[in-house]
């Protein structure tokens, strides 16, 4: 008898009967011709946040990397195990995606751990501590020049972490070059797990705006055109 999780086997059965059967031809084409996603999403590994579900994406439409607190590290020259950086490099230089989206979310455990550490990040774990230390510049910026002056501290740092990751993206030479040329766009977004609300960061103001309002504006624009 296998000790593989029973719920996963059950889920696979439903996937094969319902999802795969519905998209069988698309899956076969993806297997033969490869993937050509236009969007990469850097998301949190929180089990409650699934980019493919949030954006109703079909197989092959999103290239996704997930890590604790959806952080993008700054560009570092040299060796090491840089998982997120490797995924960025492959997505941008290999797959030639057109959009990079940093997707944060409410009640992020990584952000909460940073806030509760009181600077003693070694207590958050051997690997988690050094990783969430990347939130320090975001916390400093938030304290000195807050964009969202009336948000609660957790939410404010979730937003600030997204902004910092967007800044870190631009430290990668191959990303900065393509963004400057107009061949690549970077975006920030935040998801509310309980309400299902999505907020998108304005590039001009760095304020997070309701995606439903943006959809309505887009529809109006399309109707006028």
Q: Is 115 a residue of the active site?
A: no
E runs forming strands in 114-174 = none
Q: Is 45 a residue of the active site?
A: no
Element (H, E) at 142: helix 136-144
Q: Is 108 a residue of the active site?
A: yes
Active-site residue identified among 106, 108, 163, 199? 108
Most distant pair of Cα atoms in the chain: their distance: 63
Q: What is the dihedral of CA 204, 205, 211, 217, to 10 degrees?
A: -60
Q: Is 99 a residue of the active site?
A: no
Active-site residue identified among 44, 106, 163, 199? 44
Q: Say how far residue 143 (Cα) sits from the centre of its chain.
A: 24
Active-site residue identified among 105, 106, 163, 199? 105
Give how far Cα 53 sits from Cα of 67, 78, 151, 191, Å: 17, 36, 27, 12
- In this structure, the chain runs to a length of 225
Half-sphere exposure of 151 (CA within 13 A, CB side): 16
Active-site residue identified among 18, 21, 45, 48? 48
Catalytic residues: 44, 46, 48, 105, 108
């Amino acid at each position: 008898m296998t000790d593989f999780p029973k719920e996963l086997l059950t889920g696979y059965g439903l996937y094969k009967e319902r999802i795969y059967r519905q998209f069988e031809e698309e899956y076969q084409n993806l297997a033969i011709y490869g993937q050509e996603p236009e969007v990469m999403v850097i998301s949190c590994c929180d089990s409650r946040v699934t980019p493919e579900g949030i954006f109703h994406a079909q197989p092959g439409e999103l290239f996704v990397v997930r890590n604790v607190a959806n952080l993008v590290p700054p560009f570092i020259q040299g060796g090491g195990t840089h998982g997120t950086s490797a995924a960025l490099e492959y997505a941008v230089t290999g797959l030639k995606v057109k959009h990079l989206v940093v997707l944060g979310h409410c009640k992020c455990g990584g952000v909460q751990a940073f806030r509760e550490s009181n600077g003693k990040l070694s207590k958050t774990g051997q690997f988690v501590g050094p990783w969430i230390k990347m939130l320090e510049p975001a916390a400093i910026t938030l304290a000195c020049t807050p964009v969202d002056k009336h948000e609660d501290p957790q939410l404010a740092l979730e937003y600030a972490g997204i902004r910092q990751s967007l800044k870190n993206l631009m430290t990668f030479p191959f990303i900065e070059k393509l963004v400057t040329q107009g061949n690549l766009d970077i975006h920030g977004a935040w998801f509310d797990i309980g309400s299902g609300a999505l907020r998108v960061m304005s590039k001009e103001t760095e304020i997070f705006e309701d995606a439903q309002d943006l959809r309505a504006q887009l529809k109006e624009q399309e109707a006028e055109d």
